[in-house]
Structure 1
Amino acid sequence: MLKKRLCALAALLSLSAATLAAEVKLVVKADQAGPVIHRNIYGQFAEHLGTGIYEGMWVGPESKIPNVRGWRKDVIGALKALHVPLVRWPGGCFADEYHWREGIGPRNKRPVKVNTNWGGVAENNAVGTHEFFDLAEQLGAEAYVNGNLGTGSPQEMAEWLEYMTAEGDSTLAQLRRKNGRDKPFRVHYFAVGNEAWGCGGNMRPDYYVDLYRQAATFFKTPPNNRPIFIASGGTGHQIEWTEAIAKRAKGVPVDAISHHAYTLPTSDWAKKGQAVNFPESEWVSTLANAQQIDAMIRENVAVLDKLDPSKKIGFYFDEWGSWYDPEPGSNPGFLVQRNTLRDALLSALHFNVFHEHAERVKMTNIAQMVNVLQAMILTTKDKMVLTPTYHAFAMYVPFQDATSLPATLEGNPVYKVDKFEMPTVSATAARGKDGKLYLGLVNAHAHDAQSLTVDIGKPVQAARGQLLTADKMDAQNELGKPAQVVPKAFEAKASNGQLKLTLPAKSVLVVALEP
């Protein structure tokens, strides 16, 4: 019996040694402050799509589900804990078929339309301008309104802006007051159309720019309530939209260009890949594809640096996230998908890239908040569950408005499965508003732990924070079952002034360093 136990122990020690990969060194230049990581990099997106708004967040004031003026208390509470800085609404593709006048006034008198983009279901316009701003104010978040360029007009967008922001006694300001809002709404961002290259009108870049210039000419708001105006840009590795907007949108306000990029395991929109029960090859292909966003940003920023050297135009990713085949049995137009540990790592990999480009990238919006695509929260009737993606966002809260610090990895091994490969470790560093130095780390390897030595140019005594991992690649949190993916407390102490961290396989780690 003793011999068997010794053999088992030896085998375990051998396995542990084999699964701990070669040591990587992280060098952080703690004395070289970079750009501030804008809190809106952690922005959210709520579209009239499936149960993303209706049922998922909005249940109406008469619902037995506890709510505040129609918005679910449990969901709002969970989102507030994320310090959600910004919400984009009403779309997405829905925005270019949305007419704002249909979403004001008594809810029982609003017209019922067909949501032609998402499932062909009835849209009763119960959530309109006033309800959206109530949501943003309950969350303490900034408001990003997407205007209708596709089926709308410059007049419609200009009048919506007046309705929301006018201070005087114009007819539209009085109409807003009649509908229950005396003071103007604070509109932080306003976009002219969405995905003009596709669902927003199948336009060419130059044609879109002409329409943008025409519409923006008529946008008039009080000086103290002028939104940041956003032009609809390209997707993926496209640069022609950025080039056309930066080159030709002169003489009208254009403060930023939006860009969209979704991550698919297969890169095939006809068969994207499953959200669960996927092979390791799709684990690494998904995470490797996610890191292409770095090249997308670099390509577009190079265009902006040439055409906008004064850096007046921001480059925003107002739609990003994973996109898998829809959940079997669901309405394909509702974009229902499960959320697993893979999505948590995908989120952290995006964060680390966005931080690196904080000079231009000052806002991004994951798609989406609740029940749709890579959601923070999943609901069923009066129950809800927090997803692995939610926990990744929560762990990275200290990076909101933190000051980025240069961070480089030495000796970072390549993780490869079949034809897909990527760096094993991803890292970011920043000085938080509380003065602490934070690290955000990802070990993408599905099986091997990774040893990491930290060098910030001076002694570090310890690191404390939270670790997110699980036994399986597709571990998830499901209603009525024990949560499989939740953060756990993490602590590591230095030895002889040197700090080493062990990153478990398939993990996200966020720590504050203690001098």
Structure 2
Amino acid sequence: MNRRSIIATLTVLVSFCNVWAQNVVTFTPGKDTVTINKHIYGHFAEHLGRCIYDGIYVGEENTTIPHTNGVRNDVIDALKNLNIPNLRWPGGCFADTYHWKDGIGPKGKRPSIVNTWWGGVTENNSFGTHDFLNMCELLGTEPYLAGNVGSGEVQELSDWVQYVNFGGKSPMSDLRRENGREKPWNVKFWGVGNEAWGCGGNMTPDYYADVYRKYATFMSDWTNTGGLFRIASGANGADYNWTETLMKKIPKNLVKGIALHHYAVIEWKKKGPSTMYTDEQYFKTMKSAWLMNELVEKHSAIMDKYDPAKEIALVVDEWGGWYEVEPGTNPGFLYQQNTMRDAMIAGMTLNIFNNHAERVRMANLAQTVNVLQAVILTEGNKMLLTPTYHVMEMYKVHQDATLIPIQLNSADFVFNGEKIPAVTASASIAKDGKTHISLVNIDPTKEQAITVDVADKKYKSINGRLLTSKKLRDFNSFDNPANIKPAVFNEAQIKNNQIALKLPPFSVVVLELN
């Protein structure tokens, strides 16, 4: 072999090694002490567009769509398969205009209201407290009730707590029994208002902190072990002063969680289409989604100053992609399709939450059915599962598993001189001893070769699942509902203490190691 050939061969070898070295996941040994709280995998159902009516709830009198007490059976089965740990209701912005007593008692006597936030449509209150809480029992999930602080009074929220949680004799528990429910539901999770900085009242952080203290004080409950899990309305994105003020002014005995809202959005005035987005719009969406990592870290750092023991959870109870509505649909209904871009957002975001599980202990994808980054879409008696659904289903192996801390060196996804990490990952050990690693490659054109160094852990076998598609803009339609679905992934190889694999462009892989 001549000198020129040797140099060419070495160049190829160095280039090959660099490709593998660009993406290296390393297990950090001896620090497996944090649990990935299952409540990170929560969902959100608001009285918005077709999420509740025509999505989850079709009414008891419906004869064309199989249901249980008006709730679609196909939706029930799909959500059960996700093992959803909690479900937030009734909002959102709707929560601070919702008066819970309008939604109890005989349905024919319930007053109608106008949903002033979402489309100006008439709300007949046929889906109320009993309907929601009974559905949660059916799903085997914990309800998360968002209380009305914006337009409601302290007594109204206090009464709601007593109505759903008190087992003894009282005015509200007697009213519950009159309406057909003997035993209380013992609801643990309560949001004290929603987006108080905006649709919840346009409050300042100092004013809201005082309002919160007042409302939380009168939310009495002696039935839940450890008391109510009260969640304060938290910051909008990077409003760090909001978090600082709440942590400084609210006593620890009154709060268990501080919320945070962040959506992956290109621009609020120009959100772009859900399916026919440009390459630039894709990059901007992913850049906005990746911002979640910075937001979680900076809000957590503020919370650490006042709560070094991490007793108060960071609750990201609204997250997901937000685009323009589908052409021809009500702009107030926020109905959008769900492509592989949404799968990228879901996989990346859940990896971020998993890796910050010491502080992030609850989150809620917005929203469950037919709204924003939904996991389910419905059309009449048809139903489909979105790419986001499949990511959530693949990742459910992390629920209540022990986090494996990792170090990640990732290649860059570069567009027009800007860059963000192409690869995100998280890992955990389930209660049955199996290790799971979730990996995401958001680069739409480049395959990513990855090495996983599992340190001192020993594994005998490895298998995996893959979610990708032929095109980035692919989605599941009612004509082709299984266009995108998980497939078997057998490309990962394990030798000694290292795993080697290649992630296809815009893909999610979850590995299981035994």
Q: What's the TM-score once normalised by structure 1's chain length?
A: 0.93
What SS does the aligned partner of 1:364 have? strand
User: In 1, distance between residues paired with 2:223 and 2:183?
Assistant: 15
Quick one: which of 439, 451, 454 aligns to 1:453? 451
Alignment of 1:285-304 (within 5 A): 285-304=284-303
Aligned to 2:5: none
Count of residue pairs brought into register by the alignment: 495
Quick one: which of 416, 419, 434 aligns to 1:418? 416
Is it true that 1:428 corresponds to 2:426 in the alignment? yes
User: In 1, distance between residues paired with 2:413 and 2:253?
Assistant: 47
User: In 1, distance between residues paired with 2:224 and 2:269?
Assistant: 47
User: In 2, distance between residues paired with 1:482 and 1:129?
Assistant: 32
User: In 1, distance between residues paired with 2:251 and 2:26?
Assistant: 42
Q: Relative to 1, partners in 2 of residues 1:224 and 1:188: Cα closer, same or farther, differing over 3 Å? A: closer
Letter in 2 for 1:211: V
Alignment of 1:93-132 (within 5 A): 93-132=93-132
Superposed displacement of residue 493, structure 1: 5.5
Alignment of 1:137-152 (within 5 A): 137-152=137-152
What SS does the aligned partner of 2:119 have? coil
User: In 2, distance between residues paired with 1:190 and 1:495?
Assistant: 45
Aligned to 1:332: 331
CA contact (8 A) 1:42 1:364 kept: yes
Q: Which segment drifts farther, 173-182 or 28-37?
A: 28-37
RMSD of Structure 2 on Structure 1 (CA): 1.7
Aligned to 1:155: 155
User: In 2, distance between residues paired with 1:310 and 1:346?
Assistant: 30
User: In 1, distance between residues paired with 2:480 and 2:412?
Assistant: 36
What SS does the aligned partner of 1:291 have? helix
Aligned to 1:254: 255
Q: Relative to 1, partners in 2 of residues 1:430 and 1:89: Cα closer, same or farther, differing over 3 Å? A: same
Alignment of 1:22-41 (within 5 A): 22-23=20-21, 24-41=23-40
Aligned to 2:393: 394
User: In 1, distance between residues paired with 2:278 and 2:120?
Assistant: 33
Superposed displacement of residue 227, structure 1: 2.0
Superposed displacement of residue 25, structure 1: 2.1
CA contact (8 A) 1:443 1:507 kept: yes
User: In 2, distance between residues paired with 1:495 and 1:205?
Assistant: 52
User: In 2, distance between residues paired with 1:329 and 1:340?
Assistant: 19
Superposed displacement of residue 314, structure 1: 1.1
Aligned to 2:199: 199
Aligned to 1:72: 72
Alignment of 1:152-301 (within 5 A): 152-224=152-224, 226-250=227-251, 253-264=254-265, 266=266, 268-301=267-300
User: In 2, distance between residues paired with 1:44 and 1:499?
Assistant: 33
CA contact (8 A) 2:313 2:361 kept: yes
Q: Relative to 1, partners in 2 of residues 1:489 and 1:251: Cα closer, same or farther, differing over 3 Å? A: closer
Aligned to 1:360: 359
Superposed displacement of residue 293, structure 1: 0.7
Superposed displacement of residue 334, structure 1: 0.2
Aligned to 2:305: 306
CA contact (8 A) 1:314 1:361 kept: yes
Q: Relative to 1, partners in 2 of residues 1:81 and 1:30: Cα closer, same or farther, differing over 3 Å? A: farther
Superposed displacement of residue 462, structure 1: 3.8
CA contact (8 A) 1:283 1:473 kept: no
Letter in 2 for 1:401: D
User: In 1, distance between residues paired with 2:495 and 2:222?
Assistant: 60
Aligned to 2:7: none
- CA offset digits 1:324-379 (Å, max 9, x no partner): 01111100000011100110111010011001111111100000000000000000
User: In 2, distance between residues paired with 1:496 and 1:79?
Assistant: 37
Q: Which segment drifts farther, 283-292 or 189-198?
A: 283-292
User: In 2, distance between residues paired with 1:67 and 1:147?
Assistant: 28
Superposed displacement of residue 252, structure 1: 5.2
CA contact (8 A) 2:493 2:501 kept: no
Letter in 2 for 1:328: P
Superposed displacement of residue 484, structure 1: 2.2
Q: Which segment drifts farther, 219-228 or 150-159?
A: 219-228
User: In 1, distance between residues paired with 2:216 and 2:451?
Assistant: 52
Superposed displacement of residue 215, structure 1: 1.3
User: In 1, distance between residues paired with 2:230 and 2:406?
Assistant: 32
Aligned to 2:383: 384
Superposed displacement of residue 482, structure 1: 5.3
Letter in 1 for 2:429: R
User: In 1, distance between residues paired with 2:472 and 2:479?
Assistant: 21
Alignment of 1:42-61 (within 5 A): 42-61=41-60
Q: Name the % identity.
A: 45
- CA offset digits 1:169-213 (Å, max 9, x no partner): 112111101101101112120111100000000000000011111
- CA offset digits 1:462-494 (Å, max 9, x no partner): 421210001111110000225221100112463
Structure 2: unaligned runs, 5 residues or longer: 1-11
Q: Which segment drifts farther, 31-40 or 251-260?
A: 251-260
User: In 2, distance between residues paired with 1:252 and 1:117?
Assistant: 33
